[in-house]
Amino acid sequence: FNDYDVFKGGLRIYTTLDLDLQNKAQEAISTVFPEKIDPSYSLICADPSNGYIYALIGGKDYKESKFNIATQGKRQPGSVFKTMVLMESVRQNISSSNEFNPNGPLTIDMEEGPDWIVNNYANQQFGEKMSIADATTNSVNVVFAQLIMQIGAENVESLCSEMEIYDIGNNPAIALGGLEIGITPMDVSKVFSTLASGGVYNKPVSILKITDAEGNILYQYDPDIELSNK
């Protein structure tokens, strides 16, 4: 469907939107951000079991800006991306009790380019060894840098592509959120929805059916087709 199809009128678009949840989302945003701020905010409420999006806020006002932060606003995710490193380590059967040196600065020899020097936030120091579980609790950069070197940054990149998250690159610095191109709030929603569904990725869905004015079906969402395309 192009812009003309949509704006000429006559289409009936059936969505997954839950108006009650959308209103609650708007109220929540208004409570947390009573005044307009920059950069702006977004919110996504999705069902992990099927990918249905029940509420979505993509910015301040569509009349002021047509840019949807929730689906288009790419940002560097920082330590949020450590989640992806953990997911890939689970796929490789690496135990969360495995231990690493948690203290920096740590110099990692890179096959190409300069050495990678990693330190913890605010130069935090810990004991001699720390488990992956504890490193997650404390968001310890030095442990996650070693972990991604063990599991392979290219494997984390591949895992992301399975959840339709692209253009992150495979530099080991992605473990600490240093991506080639940032990710959107929708991408983050995909990650945590996949975890919430027990490791099953369900593509985000917002439109279930589109008909013309006479009721002829022009488009209908079919989850079986989506599954066959994975």
89: β partners = none
Q: How confident is the model at residue 88 (pLDDT cuts 50, 70, 90)?
A: very high
In this structure, what DSSP letter does residue 160 have? H
> At 228, is the pLDDT very low, low, confident or very high (cuts 50, 70, 90)?
low
**Residue 229: predicted pLDDT:** 58
Task: For the chain, give the mean pLDDT.
Answer: 93
Look at residue 83 in the predicted model and tell me its pLDDT. Answer: 97
CA–CA gap between residue 209 and residue 133 (Å, rounded): 44
Structure tokens at 195: 């975890």
Q: Which residues pair with 207 in a beta bridge?
A: 15
Q: Residue 109's pLDDT is what?
A: 93
0.75 surpassed by pTM: yes
Residue 209 clears pLDDT 60, i.e. is over it: yes
* Sign of the torsion angle spanned by Cα atoms 185, 13, 60, 20: negative
More confident residue, 110 or 228: 110
| Cβ density class 181-217: b for 16+ within 10 Å, e for less | ebbbbbbbbbbebbeeeeeebbbbbbeeebbeeeeee
Please determine, for residue 227, whether its predicted confidence score (pLDDT) is greater than 80.
no
3-state class (DSSP) for residue 182: coil
pLDDT score at 225: 74
CA distance 137 to 168: 24
Task: Note the pLDDT tens digit of each residue in 125-171.
Answer: 999 999 999 999 999 999 999 999 999 999 999 999 999 999 999 99
pLDDT at site 1: 86
Give the pLDDT confidence score for residue 230 in this predicted structure.
Answer: 55
The pLDDT of 113-122, averaged and rounded, is: 94
* C-alpha to C-alpha distance for 118 and 199, rounded to whole angstroms: 30
Query: Interhelix angle for 141-151 vs 82-91, to 10°?
Result: 40
